[in-house]
């Protein structure tokens, strides 16, 4: 588990990162705000720390965790190759935004319709 992609695949870890994007937090604060059990928080923080996504300082018995956002650039950079596709369809973005209340992802199961008996095979060109 080394790439940032796998790290942020976990919803709880994304929640922690989002929370830390607001302000640095101690483990206990994260635990209370996100309603996660303490060992769970610690374990996820360990993973986030090991992969460089957060850093921590010690305040007495507390550990204060804060974002180290540079590690997320890996994602940003990877996304770059797709940006040119987005520049167009603007309304698609809005549709997408509406469908995204927050965490629970929209599950969509659109199997493509198979076209049969169309006579000749089409190359591309498409045209929805």
* Measured distance CA(26)–CA(59) in Å, rounded: 9
Write the burial class of residue 60 (CB in 10 Å: 0-12 exposed, 13-18 middle, 19+ buried). exposed
Of 47-106, binders to its own copies (CB under 8 A) are 49-53, 55-60, 62-64, 66-79, 81-83, 85-86, 89, 92-93, 96-97, 99-101, 103, 105-106
12 binds, among its own copies, DNA, none (CB under 5 to 8 A by kind): DNA
C-alpha distances in angstroms, 99 versus 88, 95, 106? Answer: 19, 6, 7
- 58 lines the binding site for DNA (CB under 7 A): yes
Assess 43 for contact with DNA (CB under 7 A): yes
Determine, following the binding rule CB under 7 A, whether residue 66 of this chain makes contact with DNA. no
Binds 94: which of its own copies, DNA, none (CB < 5-8 Å by kind): none
Per-residue binding letters, 96-125, with DNA (x by CB under 7 A) = -------------x----x-x----x----
DSSP string, 87-123: SS-HHHHHHHHHT--SSSPPP---PPPPP---SS---
CB of 51 to DNA, least distance (A): 11
Q: Measured from the CB of residue 45, what is the shortest distance to DNA in angstroms?
A: 5
Rounded CA gap, 60 and 25, in Å? 14
């Amino acid at each position: 588990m080394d790439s940032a992609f796998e790290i942020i695949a976990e919803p709880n870890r994304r929640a922690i990162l989002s929370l830390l994007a607001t302000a640095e937090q101690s483990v206990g604060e994260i635990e209370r705000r996100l309603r996660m059990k303490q060992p769970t928080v610690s374990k996820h923080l360990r993973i986030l720390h090991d992969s460089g996504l957060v850093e921590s300082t010690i305040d007495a018995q507390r550990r204060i965790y804060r974002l180290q956002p540079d590690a997320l650039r890996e994602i940003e950079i990877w996304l770059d190759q797709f940006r040119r596709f987005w520049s167009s369809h603007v309304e698609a973005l809005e549709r997408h935004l509406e469908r995204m209340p927050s965490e629970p992802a929209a599950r969509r199961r659109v199997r493509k319709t198979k076209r049969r008996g169309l006579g000749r095979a089409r190359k591309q060109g498409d045209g929805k």
